[in-house]
A and B are shown apart, each in its own frame.
Chain A
Amino acid sequence: DIVMTQSPDSLAVSLGERATINCKSSQSVLYISDNKNYLAWYQQKPGQPPKLLIYWASTRESGVPDRFSGSGSGTDFTLTISSLQAEDVAVYYCQQYYITPLAFGQGTRLEIK
Chain B
Amino acid sequence: QVQLQQSGPGLVKPSQTLSLTCAISGDSVSSSSSTWNWIRQSPTRGLEWLGRTYFRSKWYNDYALSVKSPITINPDTSKNQFSLRLDSVTPEDTAVYYCVRGLGTGGSYMDVWGKGTTVTVSS
Contacts and interface: CB of A to CB of B under 8 A. Distances in A.
B107 interface: yes
Contact of B108 (A34, A50, A61, A97): A97
B110 A98 contact: no
Contacts of A102: 37, 49
A55 B106 CA distance: 13
Contact of A40 (B98, B109, B116): B109
B66 A107 contact: no
Nearest to B49: A102
B114 to A, nearest CB: 7
Interface in A47-97: 49-52, 55-56, 61, 93, 95, 97
B47 A104 contact: yes
A36 B37 CA distance: 22
A106 B46 contact: yes
B110 A52 contact: yes
Interface of B: 37, 46-49, 52, 62, 64-66, 98, 102, 104, 106-111, 113-116
Interface of A: 1, 31, 34, 38, 40, 42, 49-52, 55-56, 61, 93, 95, 97-104, 106-107
